[in-house]
Amino acid sequence: MGLFNLFRKKDMTNEIQTYLDNGAIILDVRTLDEWNEGHSQGAKHIVLTTISARVAEIKAWKKPVIAVCRSGARSGQATDFLHAQGVDIINGGPWQNVDKHLK
């Protein structure tokens, strides 16, 4: 792997579509103000700072999850944490990455 590949973002298009095809729930971890600016239809909103208190709720969905935020950083944190808790989850990155698959 070259040096420049270290900074290249992985294309999640196929993974996102596969998860959506399998009934994934979109989990938006942005702030309420960001959520109110726009979000994917049908997404669930749980602010990143409250994720640890809501693991049981997320597990109760019994569906795969796609985490999203503004840039992919917070959704990455949520993905790492929830994966460690046994949730089938991927980081969808910016919410628009997933939203374009819904249209």
Residues 74, 76: Cα–Cα separation, whole Å:
5
β partners of residue 67: 27, 91
User: Is residue 9 very low, low, confident or very high in pLDDT (cuts 50, 70, 90)?
Assistant: low
Q: For residue 72, give both structure tokens.
A: 């992919």
Task: Tally the domains of the chain.
Answer: 1
CB 50 within 8 A of CB 27: no
Provide φ and ψ at 45, rounded to 5°.
Answer: -115, 115
pLDDT in tens, 35-94: 999 999 999 999 999 999 999 999 999 999 999 999 999 999 999 999 999 999 999 999
The per-residue pLDDT for 8 is: 47
> Residue 57 belongs to what domain range?
3-100
Q: What is the CATH number of the domain that holds 55?
A: 3.40.250.10
